[in-house]
Amino acid sequence: MAYHNPDGVMIGLEIHVQLNKLNTKMFCGCSTKYHNDEPNSHVCPVCLGLPGSLPVINEKAVEAAMKIGLALNCEIVPQTQFHRKNYYYPDLPKGFQTTQYDFPIASEGKVFIEGEDGEHVIGITRAHMEEDPGRLLHIGSIDKSKGTMIDYNRSGMALIEIVSEPDMRSPKEARRFLDKLRNIIEYLDVCDTTLEGAMRFDANVSIGGGSRAEVKNISSHKGAERALLFEIVRQKNLLRRGGTVVQETRHFDEARGVTISLRTKEQEHDYRYFPEPDLVPMRVADRTAKVAETLPELPDAKRERFTKEYGMADMHAKALTSEIRTADFYEEVAAKIDAKICTPWVADVLKGELNYRDLTVESFKVDDMVEIIEMVTQDKITEKSAVDVIRAILDSGGSATDIVKEKGLIKVEDDVVSTAVLEVIKENEAAVTDYLGGKEQSLNFLVGQVMKKTRGRADAVQAREMVLASLNK
């Protein structure tokens, strides 16, 4: 069913991906591992913008940018260079940001997402390299602050700015796009997206073809959805009251969940871009093939392979490939256990339990998963017990073997079950009579009694069959 987009919502996103898996920053040799260190302890003359310092391009950052470009199905530009984007802000130690302008390293790509009405294509306008500014701490909120504290540890970190077309029609699609993008970035191994500030977003929002507002300072996928919802409602209310949406830049206050106006178009910057004279051009087209060789299998390709190679439903393939760690986990399990059997265990059961707890697959061992599935297939534990074991491991740790032992989950032998069946039939004459008299639900009661007697270790389906067999004798 086609999605009608009743409000004419158009959302475009700009995503800054920090290349924090590099050893050093974009233009200097300062370490990128500053996250747990003192402020202003990972700075040098270059990233502190000291007079006389000069930048030198990190080759690995350029390769990472090309990787990202290729993964987003972009064209890689034959020749490019860095520009200076001139504006004044205290987080910008040189008074300009070294970034790319007319020739971004990558452009004209696309990303496929699960849209409101099935597969939806989001156009990628461009992906370019730039440096991160420092970090500002406002003493109080930004609009009522007493002062600003500045830490330049982040200054000069390599960023890739990805700009999308305004192809998203709802906050949900925006969220899906961001999830997909994160997924791809993680596959490429260029960014640890769990680190603070690793992915940051700005959004352009317009409704009904009106002016667009740019919302800055969004720092999480959840925040993006909230900010967009707020902004759409704000614009709708404004229009309903007869107002007009003005082109402006707004700041998302994460704590309050609102967007506030920073500046209108009239106050927009004149960035006075010009080519950075301290850096020479880059001619990287001939490296594209080599970089492409280093690309891992990407989510879409992996998803397709999973359906073919493991014969699983697309829904399962999607769930398993949405994070590279889950996909790798699955393939390790599938190497030991028949895919038909292990797919639901990993894709449905384990993923469900992980999601419920906000955990990642790193919290679970491949060996435990293999062992648990084997115990089920060898009829040693019931499926229900298996789920219990998975939950126990996630909640309190321990190995599958130990938990099965501790909890006495090993399935009881058939004769124990048949003894229990006989006992239950003997002890519940009334129910037996009811069943024989046509009261179907009495069977459930009798099976329940058997399960109770065996403390749940009996297989419910099997117990049912045995009760039925005894009754029909």
Contacting residue, 131, 132, 161, 231, with Mg ion by CB under 5 A: 161
User: Is 158 one of the binding residues for Zn ion (CB under 5 A)?
Assistant: no
Can you state the angle between helices 429-436 and 460-471, rounded to 10 degrees?
80
Q: Could you tell me which residues are beta bridge partners of residue 309?
A: none
Q: Is 22 left (phi over 0), alpha (psi -120 to 50) or beta?
A: beta
d(CA 179, CA 177): 5
Contact partner, 272, from another protein, Mg ion, Zn ion, none, Cβ < 5-8 Å per class: another protein
User: Is 131 one of the binding residues for Mg ion (CB under 5 A)?
Assistant: no
In the complex, minimum distance from the CB of residue 109 to another protein, in angstroms, rounded to a whole number:
24
CB-wise, 146 or 426, nearer to another protein? Answer: 146
In the complex, minimum distance from the CB of residue 83 to Mg ion, in angstroms, rounded to a whole number:
11
In the complex, minimum distance from the CB of residue 87 to another protein, in angstroms, rounded to a whole number:
9
Segment near Mg ion (CB under 5 A), from 153-161, 163-171, 325-333, 388-396?
A: 153-161
CB-wise, 196 or 348, nearer to another protein? Answer: 196
d(CA 149, CA 140): 11
In the complex, minimum distance from the CB of residue 132 to Zn ion, in angstroms, rounded to a whole number:
12
Contact partner, 55, from Mg ion, Zn ion, another protein, none, Cβ < 5-8 Å per class: another protein
- Other beta carbons within 10 Å of 84: 21
Sequential DSSP letters for 209-251: T---EEEEEE-SHHHHHHHHHHHHHHHHHHHHTT--PPPEEEE
CB-wise, 24 or 206, nearer to another protein? Answer: 24
Q: Is 156 left (phi over 0), alpha (psi -120 to 50) or beta?
A: left
Site residues (vs another protein, CB under 8 A): 22-24, 28-31, 38-45, 48-62, 79, 81, 84, 86, 88-90, 93-96, 136-139, 142-143, 145-152, 270, 272, 274-275, 277-284
Contact partner, 161, from another protein, Zn ion, Mg ion, none, Cβ < 5-8 Å per class: Mg ion
DSSP H or E segment with residue 283? strand 282-283
CB-wise, 97 or 206, nearer to Mg ion? Answer: 97
Contacting residue, 5, 16, 21, 44, with Zn ion by CB under 5 A: 44
Question: Cα dihedral sign for 46, 49, 52, 56?
Answer: positive
Contacting residue, 11, 13, 30, 347, with Zn ion by CB under 5 A: 30
Question: 3-state SS of 11-49?
Answer: EEEEEEEECCCCCECCCCCCECCCCCCCCCCCCCCCCCC
CB-wise, 161 or 248, nearer to Mg ion? Answer: 161
CB-wise, 84 or 182, nearer to Zn ion? Answer: 84
DSSP H helices in 260-413: 288-294, 299-310, 314-321, 324-334, 339-344, 351-357, 366-377, 383-396, 400-406
In the complex, minimum distance from the CB of residue 26 to another protein, in angstroms, rounded to a whole number:
10
Positions touching Zn ion (CB under 5 A) are 28, 30, 44, 46-47
